[in-house]
Amino acid sequence: MSDPLLSVRGFSVVYDVDPPVRAVTDVTLELQRGEILGLAGESGCGKTTLAYGVQRLLKAPAVITSGSVVFHDASGEDIDVNALDPEQMRRFRWDKISMVFQGAMNALNPVATIGAQLEDVFEIHRPSLTRRERRARVAELLEIVRVGAQRGRSYPHELSGGMRQRVMIAMALALRPQLMVMDEPTTALDVLVQREILRQISQLRHEFGFSVVFITHDLPLLLEISDRIAIMREGEIVELDTAENIWTDPRDDYTRTLLSSFPRLTGDKGVVAR
């Protein structure tokens, strides 16, 4: 039975430059509660613009020209995201929807410790917590993402890329959101660290029950971790189906082109021309 968490209808974004650039065009999709939805496509196709747009994180010259975004809260309330005022939107972000940005080193403050940055989330969004309670929550989060509570005293440059990305995941998990949007969170990491983080995301999803929108140009990766995959091209979703169907029976020519663009580990031997 369908249990939607986020409904996006007719969503469009234009970059108001000369001439105007249509970045996202009439996108409609529904995210189910507890699922991992992969968002795939080549660089510049509008994946990140769509993800930022539904959270109202876009800045000028980007303009949302049409569409609705409705968040179906676990309490039973339907929240019209576009109708929230700035203060309501501030409370909505991180509490209902959190974001893991691409490039953890750029997202973390280089002159503040990891613990202080995590504490800031609670200080702003959970002001009733005491300092001792905030520190206990931070230590718990760092243990959950397997960084270790002792790393709360470290600065971002003292951590590896994989550990910094785990800290960003901890920050996104801090308020127990119902949806986590991840913008190419493993792109800059080596394959082994990438696999560890993907495995952890899946485990945390099962443990805490949140949904995930996972953005990447790496379609084979999405085939492995996603329940459903949306394929974007030039600002439009050209195919949306289960990961299994995308792999075994892709309907759109562009999807088939994406699938064929990745090298296979097995195949017929060939002769290299001299």
What pLDDT digit, counting tens, does each position of 149-161 carry?
999 999 999 999 8
Q: Is 65 contained in some domain? A: no
Q: Is 114 contained in some domain? A: yes
Check pLDDT > 70 for residue 61.
yes
The reported pLDDT for the residue numbered 195 is 84
Cβ proximity of 214 and 226 under 8 Å: yes
Amino acid at 36: I
Check pLDDT > 60 for residue 225.
yes
Mean pLDDT of the chain: 91
Q: Is 258 contained in some domain? A: no
Binning pLDDT at 50, 70 and 90, where does residue 97 land? very high
Percent of the chain residues past pLDDT 70, beyond the cut: 94
Cβ proximity of 37 and 31 under 8 Å: yes
**Helix-, strand-, coil-residue percentages of the chain, each rounded to 5:** 40, 25, 35
> What are the residues whose beta carbons fall under 8 Å from the beta carbon of 90, sequence distance 6 or more?
none
Q: Is 255 contained in some domain? A: no
Cβ proximity of 180 and 101 under 8 Å: no
Pairing of strands 228-233, 236-242: antiparallel
Check pLDDT > 80 for residue 217.
yes
The reported pLDDT for the residue numbered 269 is 58
Which position has the token pair 């792999």? 247
DSSP tag of 217: S
Q: How many CB atoms lie within 10 A of CB 16?
A: 11
Which position has the token pair 């195919």? 239
What is the secondary structure of 170-211 as a DSSP string? HHHHTT--SEEEEESTTTTS-HHHHHHHHHHHHHHHHHH--E
- The alpha helices in 55-190, defined as continuous H runs, are 86-92, 104-107, 114-125, 131-144, 161-173
More confident residue, 13 or 91: 13
Cβ proximity of 60 and 142 under 8 Å: no
Domain span including residue 121: 106-176
Cβ proximity of 194 and 59 under 8 Å: no
**Number of folded domains in the chain?**
1
The reported pLDDT for the residue numbered 110 is 92
DSSP tag of 93: B
Q: Is 101 contained in some domain? A: no
Q: Is 137 contained in some domain? A: yes
Cα 221 to Cα 108: distance, rounded to the nearest angstrom: 26
Q: Is 160 contained in some domain? A: yes
By the 10 Å C-beta count (0-12 exposed, 13-18 middle, 19+ buried), 180 is classed as buried
Q: Is 223 contained in some domain? A: no
Cβ proximity of 38 and 228 under 8 Å: yes
Q: What average pLDDT does this structure show over 5-26?
A: 96
Check pLDDT > 60 for residue 271.
no
Q: Using alpha carbons, list the distances in angstroms from residue 215 to 171, 180, 182, 272.
A: 18, 11, 6, 36
Gyration radius (Cα) of the chain, Å: 20
